[in-house]
């Protein structure tokens, strides 16, 4: 179904609300394998982020504009939200939790970093030139660039080939994202720096990383866990950027233990 500002959200299950936010260039369908088990305990809201999947793009795309769209869509929920965010979705979840601490009361942050690009005072990240190259290449070879990006997401993982196949199968299952929307979202990744936000995020959080992740190194997740007031860190051995696809047993066990805790 579509809601606020053309935001596509699929809802299934009953219980406390749990919002799933995907990564750049993907859509909510990537979480399909996770939903049945989660829906037995939660009312699961699977979101296509603006400009991705079935959701319309925003006229002016920014991190706070995306958060505002999501906050408006879920404002009618009667109980606080738990959010599971992966990669770009994790960045959005961090900012949402900072801006609406009374609404967002539990976080699962998967392959998430407060800053995607490296700097003089921030080492566990990608080179900015590498990240921005995706934007340049999108304009030249759109599909090939997205396929390359997917390959990076499972690079080095023990079960990377199977995970890559699932990612590629899902990539265009909901149509082709608009290149302009992807470029705008990539700019968010290139410029966002939420390190000052993190100490003020009081919601209990589970930080899930893969020790072979080349996009958001596990050291960034370890920093989040040290800096957030109520966070724990699970680093999955042999996993890269999509541990929920490549290492389902370890991922499911960690998330179930955290979400069921009171």
Q: Which amino acids are annotated catalytic?
A: 87, 213, 241
**CA atoms in the 13 A half-sphere facing the CB of 168:** 14
Nearest alpha-carbon partner for 15 in 96, 108, 106, 79: 79
Task: Please state whether 243 falls in left (phi above 0), alpha (psi between -120 and 50) or beta.
Answer: alpha
Sheet with 8-12: list strands edge to edge. 8-12, 43-48, 17-21, 81-86, 104-110, 205-210, 231-236
Straight-line distance from the first to the last Cα atom of the chain, in angstroms, rounded to the nearest whole number? 31
What tokens appear for 82 in the block?
């738990």
């Amino acid at each position: 179904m579509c809601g606020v500002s053309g935001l596509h959200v699929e809802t299934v299950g009953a219980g406390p609300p749990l919002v799933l936010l995907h990564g750049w260039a993907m859509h909510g369908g990537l979480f399909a394998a996770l939903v049945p088990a989660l829906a037995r305990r939660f009312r699961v809201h699977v979101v296509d982020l603006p400009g991705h999947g079935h959701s319309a793009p925003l006229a002016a795309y920014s991190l706070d504009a995306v958060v505002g769209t999501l906050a408006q869509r879920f404002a009618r929920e009667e109980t606080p939200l738990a959010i599971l965010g992966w990669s770009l979705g994790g960045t959005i979840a961090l900012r949402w939790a900072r801006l609406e601490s009374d609404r967002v009361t539990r976080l699962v942050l998967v392959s998430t970093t407060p800053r995607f690009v490296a700097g003089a005072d921030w080492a566990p990240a990608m080179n900015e030139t590498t990240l921005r190259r995706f934007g340049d290449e999108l304009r030249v070879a759109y599909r090939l660039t997205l396929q390359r990006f997917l390959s990076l997401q499972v690079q080095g993982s023990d079960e990377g080939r199977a995970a890559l196949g699932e990612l590629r199968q899902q990539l265009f299952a909901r149509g082709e994202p608009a290149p302009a929307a992807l470029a705008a979202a990539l700019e968010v990744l290139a410029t966002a720096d939420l390190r000052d936000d993190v100490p003020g995020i009081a919601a209990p959080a589970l930080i899930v990383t893969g020790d072979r992740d080349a996009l958001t190194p596990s050291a960034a997740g370890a920093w989040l866990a040290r800096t957030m007031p109520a966070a724990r860190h699970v680093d999955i051995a042999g996993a890269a950027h999509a541990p929920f696809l490549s290492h389902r047993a370890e991922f499911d066990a960690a998330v179930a233990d955290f979400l069921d805790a009171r």
